[in-house]
Structure 1
Amino acid sequence: MSLVLLGQIAWVLMVVGWYVIRFPFERRAKRARVSATRRGLAETLRMAISFTGLGVLPGLFVATGFPRFATYEPIALQAGLGLLAALLALVLFRLTHKALGKMWSVSLDIRDKHKLVTSGIYKRVRHPMYTAFWTMALAQALLLPNWIAGLSGLVGFGTLFFLRIGPEEAMMEETFGEDYRAYKERTARIIPGVY
C-alpha cells in the first residue's frame, strides 16, 4: 500500500471517528433549549471556512486526487506522525465531549441552566476542543501529501479559531462573570503552560 493511500484512508477514518464521537452530542444538543447565542452571519462564515478547509478540500483530494499539481511524495515519518496526530485528535475529541456532556454546542450557545465546565480535560485548558481541532488539522497536513488539501485544514480552522476565540471568551465572561475570569487566570487557552 502506498503512503498516499495509507494517509487518505487514515484521514477518512479520522473524520468518521470524529463524527461517531460527535453524533450523539449533536443529536442531544438539538433538543436542549438555548438561552443565549452569538450565531449569525459572522459565525456562519467562520464555520463555512473551517468546513471547507477540514472537509471539502481534503475530501475532494481523497475522492479525486484534485488538485494533482500540488501533490508530493510523502515520507514514512510524515505518515507515522500523521497517524499519531489523528489518534491524539480523536482521544481529545472524546475527552472534551465527555467532559462537556449536556453543555456541548457546535456554535456559540449558552444553554438553559448552563454550567461552567472546569473539570476533566477542562481543568488546565479552557478550549481543549480547539486543541483537538488543531491536532486534527495537523494530522490532515501530515496525512494528505498535497500542499493545498493537506494545509487547508490549518488555514480553515485557524481562521475560525482566531476570529471566534475573542467573542467566545467574551460570551463566557458575560455569562459566568468572576468564575470565568478566575478560570481564565489558572488555565491556558489550548496548550497547558504554553498558550
Structure 2
Amino acid sequence: MFKESPTLFTWVTCNCWLVFGCCWLTLRNRTKENVQLRTTRQRWMGFIGYCVIFVSLYLPLFTGTRLLPALSALQAAGALLCIGGIALCIWSRLLLGTNWSGGVAAKKDHELIVKGPYRLIRHPIYTGFITALAGTSLVSGGSAALIATLVCAMALYLKIEQEETLLNELFPGTYAAYQQQTRKLIPFIL
C-alpha cells in the first residue's frame, strides 16, 4: 500500500492534523449567527480544498517520490513546526470563540479579539495553518506538499485583505489602530 514507510514524524503530523480536524468540527457550529450566510457551494469548495491539501501533503507515502531528503533532523524540525502551528491554530480559534467564521463574514454582535496571540498578530490561525503545512511538507518531502503550502499561503494572504476590509468597516478607527500595533502574520516582521 505505502511505497514509503511512514516515519514517527509522519505519524506525529498526521495526529496533529487529526486533532486540528476534530477541534474544527467540534467548534464549527458554536458561533454567532452570520450576517450573510455561506452558500452550500462555498462550504463544499472549502471541504474539497482541504481534501486536495491533505492528499498533496502525504502523496509521497503513496508514490515514493520525495523532493527533499529524508533526513531525521529535517523531519524532526518539520514535526515541531507542525505541532506548534496546530497549537497556535487551536489556541487562536478558542480565543475567537463565537466570532469565528469559515469565510469572510460579519457576525451579529461581532467582537474584536485582541488578546493571546492576537496581541502580536492579526491572523494567528492563518500563521499556525501555514506553519503546520510547512512543517508537514518538511516531513513528507514531496513537491506537491511544497506547492500546496505556497498556494495556501498566497490564498490566505489574499483572504486577509478581504477580512481586513470587513474588519475596518465593522470597527471603524479601532481596527486601524489595532493594525498599527500588530503584524498580519509574523510577529515584528510581516
Q: Do the aligned partners of residues 108 and 159 (structure 1) sit closer, same or farther apart at CA in structure 2, a change above 3 Å counting?
A: same
With the length of structure 2 as denominator, give the TM-score of the two structures.
0.84
Amino acid at match of 1:159: M
Stretches of structure 1 lacking an aligned partner (at least 5 in a row): none
The Cα RMSD (Å) is 2.8
Aligned pairs for 1:20-35 (under 5 A) are 20-29=22-31, 32-35=32-35
Q: Is the 8 A contact 1:82 1:138 kept in 2?
A: yes
In structure 2, stretches of 5+ residues that fail to align are none
- Tell me by how many angstroms 1:3 deviates: 7.7
- How far is the alpha carbon of 1:90 from its aligned partner? 2.0
**Match for residue 186 of structure 1?**
181
Equivalence map 1:73-88=2 (5 Å): 73-88=69-84
Q: Structure 1 residue 130: deviation in Å?
A: 0.9
- Among 151, 158, 166, which residue is 1:163 paired with? 158
Aligned 8 A contact 1:46 1:160 in 2: no
**SS of 2:184 mapped into structure 1:** coil
Alpha-carbon separation, structure 1, partners of 2:97 and 2:20: 16
| Alpha-carbon shift at residue 52 of structure 1 (Å) | 5.2
Instruction: For residues 71-101 of structure 1, give each alpha carbon's deviation from its aligned partner in whole angstroms, at most 9, with x where no partner exists.
Output: 5541011111011111101220121012101
Q: Which moved more, 1:122-131 or 1:157-166?
A: 157-166
User: What is aligned with 1:97?
Assistant: 93
Provide the secondary structure at the position in 1 that maps to 2:106. strand
> Runs of 4 or more off by more than 6 Å in structure 1?
43-46
Which has the bigger relative contact order, CA under 8 A and spacing at least 6?
1
Q: How does 1:116-155 map to 2 (within 5 A)?
A: 116-148=112-144, 150-155=145-150
Residue-by-residue CA offset, 1:107-144 (whole Å, 9 max, x unaligned): 11111101111112211111101110111111111110
In the alignment of these two chains, the number of paired residues is 187
Q: Deviations over 1:141-165 (max 9, x none)?
A: 11102222x3133123123213212
Kept in 2: contact 1:35–1:110 (CA 8 A):
yes
Q: TM-score, normalised by structure 1?
A: 0.82
Range with greater deviation from structure 2 (18-27 or 87-96): 18-27
Superposed displacement of residue 186, structure 1:
0.6
Q: After alignment, is 2-11 or 107-116 more displaced?
A: 2-11
Letter matched to residue 175 of structure 1: L
Task: Report the residue type matching 1:33 in the other structure.
Answer: E
